Each structure stands twice: as structure tokens, then as C-alpha cells.
Amino acid sequence: MLYFAYGSNLDETQMRARCPGSERVARAMLRNHALLFAGWSERWGGSVASVQRAPGSEVLGLLYDLEASDLEALDRIEGCPWVYERTVRQVIDEHGRRRRAQVYFLLDADPGPPSSEYLGVIQRAYRRLGFDETELLRVALPGPALRRVFVYGTLLAGESNHRVLRGARLLGPARTAPAFSMFSLGSFPGVVPGGETAIEGEVYEVDAATLAGLDQLEGHPRFYRRTPLRLDEHGEVETYLLTPAQVEGCLPIPSGCWRSHRRQRPR
């Protein structure tokens, strides 16, 4: 029987682990439905993908051929019929053929954002499959089309991870209020709230795709946590902070300037 995947099961490695007898059939599209993220997954640390009826909308996905034992395993993993409901829907495969496939729908859950890890799995699958990520990111990262982000370490212009901000608009240099502490974690810095240090950095205007890339790089929300911040020069922005426990025993950077600290380190 056919199964239409649209979430993390687009990752064929994950799908083989969950359903060893499954075979990829074709890319496909579920018409008159829209993608959403809702509920809460302890495993992923955020909301998970589902679909809902939406005339005129389309959900991109992948068709798998499943054995009966694979479908039983998938029901257990998806929590069917208590968390997800499974039903049959008509999809259109990449060759234009109409196919009837099993589709999972999340039951009675409030919308919410997915974790960066979960979204990253889906994004990487979209890229391998040649899917347009625009709608995925619009749904996963609701809010203003453009966000302002304050960076202070390896994302600064000329530093090792600045490539993630390629195409983002630099709004200018910035400095926080003297209410933080900066520490060296070796090849990158971490900033924690509390203290008497003003942190020097830059503010960029980023789109949803770039923000997702930043979240993935920073391990948000499991390592760094993206946190609102107000700057006198740029108003409301977001930045990535650590907790005091994460920097325990690390070298303080009293200047609050990563570039200066990096230049002064012994080679």
C-alpha cells in the first residue's frame, strides 16, 4: 500500500529505520490541503508537521510503498489513532498519475513552532528532492517576513561563519547595554544575561530561510536560545544567548568584543 510522507519521514534514512520494508515510489503532491506545525513532540522538542484541508493549497511529499508490518510500525510511531489519525487521500505523483495513499493527520493540537532540529531534517529532505522551501519556511517561521538579528561572534563580517548571513542586509554595528557577560568557548564566544559588559556586534535583517539557517548553526533551542533584545540604535532585535551553567569554567572576555579577543589570542 502507498503512504504519503510530508514531515520528517521525507528523510529516507529515517524511513528505512522505521519501516525496513518500505520503498520510495515517487515525489507527490496532496492538493487542497496545507502544511502546518502543531502539538508537541518530546523527541523533537517542538511542534511537528501535519496537514489540514485548505482549498487551492498544496502539500509536497514523497510516496512510499509499505508492507503491512511497516504500516503497523508507523501507526505505533505516529501514535495512531490517539495522536494522529490515518486516512486515505488522493495524491498526484510526479508523473501526473492519481494515486490513493495513506496520510496521517494530527488530532486536536494547537499550532506552534517546530524545533530547529526537526525543521532542519525536513529542509534537507526538501533540498534533496528539489522542492521549493518557501511555503515550508513561511509556515514553520510565522511572523514578520524580515527579522533583525544581533550577532557578536563567528557570524560577524569576516569571521568563520559569516557565510550563513550571505544575502542578509547589514543594518550596522551595535552595542548592547552593559548588562551581559561574554565568555570564550574556544573557537567561538557565548554571551549570558547578567553582568556589566556591553557586547559589541552587528545587526542584520534576515529572511525566514536565513533565520532557519542561523537557528540550525546555533543549535536553537537546545544549545543557544534565540532571545529578544532591545538595542538603542536598532530597536527590537533577536540574539543567541547561553545560560550561566553553560559557560561555567570558561574564559571571560571583559571587553565584550570577540574580534579584539581573537586578535589577542596566542597563535
Would you name the residues annotated as active-site residues? Answer: 218
Query: How many other CB atoms are there within 10 angstroms of residue 125's CB atom?
Result: 24
Specify the DSSP element, H or E, that contains 24.
strand 23-41
Cα→Cα distances 74→5, 104, 140, 193, 251, Å: 11, 10, 24, 43, 48
Other Cβ atoms less than 10 A from the Cβ of 223: the count is: 13
CB atoms within 10 A of CB 193: 14
CA distance 240 to 221: 9
Q: ∠67-68-69 over CA atoms, to 5°?
A: 90
**Residue 30 forms beta bridges with which residues?**
59
